[in-house]
Amino acid sequence: MSAYQSKHARSLVAAKRQGGKTYTEQSHPLDQKAVPHRRRTSAKRGHRRGIATLLVCLVLLIAVAGGLLWYGHGQVAKSVPSIPSAAQSAPVTTILPAAVPAAVTADQVPYARYYYYDASRAKRYVAYAAKHPKLDPSAVVWQVDVDLDYDVFTHVESVRDPDSDTPLINKHFKLAKDFVPKHLVSLDSAQVRSNVAAAFEQLAAAASGKGLSLTATSGYRSYAYQEGVFDNNAAKYGKANAYVAVAVPGFSEHQSGLAIDVNGLLRGEDSETSGVGGWLHQNAWKYGFIVRYTKANRALTQYTYEPWHIRYVGKAAAKTMHDQKISTFEEYWVKYVEYQAPA
């Protein structure tokens, strides 16, 4: 064995004693040129391992940061209430049409734009609209405002300002039992307020000029008198028929001294377009009267068609109803009496 071989053998034994790894820098003196190359390779591998380690750390850091953001978002989301549905939403402050108050619930926006909207009736507007889906929002508001969403006689209010020319008297608004209008005067075979009598005389004179005769056959009726009228009709035709044909005492416009029944009119189909009835429909407003219970509005007035029943509301009110095409006094009362229309 040469000296070189002996030295190499001793290196192998020493390497085995150190753990059995023979391919170390100390055990490879065969090619002195290979040592620098292995050192460069090892350095490159170390450099690559460093970059890989850095990338792994960076990925882990991003993952941790993402986790923290996700957790934080979850905690914030838990602290913020979910947005409720439109029907249950809290007051909103989003931009609404100019006429709508700044804070109304989403389901009230269609109604709140009208000046006669009443927030205390909010739930009633929605319920009434659900029962009448084809009804315009404006009509929903004014009809609820006069309690048409309630069954008749179940939610009764006292008539407001009964001495004026424009009190609302119907199956939801009642006159006091002892109410008697002031300044009653005789008119044909009836009694009415003095200003109503003067207006009717002008109306009758105008009709006479057209060859038509108008006579007042009924005017003011006391509570007791109306009670007898209703009871007689109920006994003759039954209460169900009496309720839609005759006013219950206290709920009659006749007690106000503002209503007149005129002669010669029946429930004929042509009463609104021909003869005395047709003329009244076209001209009564000019003298401060309206035909109170028309065919088209039976569901709103809750009375059968009465072509003979005219009601004095005053020239200004009658003209507004005519010009604005308002066909029921209930609608006029909400928009121009109970609430003041904006200028």
Does residue 291 lie in a domain region? yes
Examine the fold and report which residue of 77, 105, 138 is the final residue of a domain before the chain moves on. Answer: 77
Check whether residue 157 and residue 27 sit in a common domain.
Answer: no
Cβ contact 196:258 at 8 Å = yes
Does residue 31 lie in a domain region? yes
Cβ contact 313:304 at 8 Å = no
Does residue 241 lie in a domain region? yes
Q: CATH number of the domain that 204 lies in? A: 3.30.1380.10
CB atoms within 10 A of CB 180: 14
96-97-100-101 Cα dihedral, nearest 10 degrees: 40
Q: What is the pTM of this model?
A: 0.70
Task: Kindly list the distances between the CA atom of residue 272 and the CA atoms of 85, 147, 218, in Å, as whole numbers in the listed order.
Answer: 48, 28, 20
Check whether residue 41 and residue 166 sit in a common domain.
Answer: no
The number of distinct structural domains making up the chain is 2
Can you tell me the distance from the alpha carbon of 5 to that of 7, in angstroms, rounded to the nearest whole number? Answer: 5
Does residue 248 lie in a domain region? yes
Does residue 234 lie in a domain region? yes
Does residue 154 lie in a domain region? yes
**What is residue 73's predicted lDDT score, i.e. its pLDDT?**
43
Check whether residue 331 and residue 224 sit in a common domain.
Answer: yes
**What is residue 85's predicted lDDT score, i.e. its pLDDT?**
31
Check whether residue 206 and residue 290 sit in a common domain.
Answer: yes
Domain, as residue range, for 16:
3-77
Give the catalytic positions in this structure.
306
Does residue 86 lie in a domain region? no
Check whether residue 300 and residue 194 sit in a common domain.
Answer: yes
Check whether residue 68 and residue 210 sit in a common domain.
Answer: no
**What is residue 2's predicted lDDT score, i.e. its pLDDT?**
46
**What is residue 18's predicted lDDT score, i.e. its pLDDT?**
43
Q: What is the Cβ-side half-sphere exposure of residue 217, based on CA atoms within 13 angstroms? A: 9
Check whether residue 292 and residue 153 sit in a common domain.
Answer: yes
Examine the fold and report which residue of 22, 52, 77 is the final residue of a domain before the chain moves on. Answer: 77
Check whether residue 194 and residue 330 sit in a common domain.
Answer: yes
pLDDT in 10s for each residue of the chain, 343 residues: 444 444 444 444 444 444 444 333 333 333 344 344 444 444 445 555 666 566 655 656 665 455 544 444 444 333 333 323 332 333 332 233 445 555 678 889 899 999 999 999 999 999 999 999 999 999 999 999 999 999 999 999 999 999 999 999 999 999 999 999 999 999 999 999 999 999 999 999 999 999 999 999 999 999 999 999 999 999 999 999 999 999 999 999 999 999 999 997 777 656 787 888 999 999 999 999 999 999 999 999 999 999 999 999 999 999 999 999 999 999 999 999 999 888 7
Cβ contact 12:27 at 8 Å = yes
Does residue 82 lie in a domain region? no
Cβ contact 175:169 at 8 Å = yes
Examine the fold and report which residue of 18, 45, 77 is the final residue of a domain before the chain moves on. Answer: 77
**What is residue 60's predicted lDDT score, i.e. its pLDDT?**
65
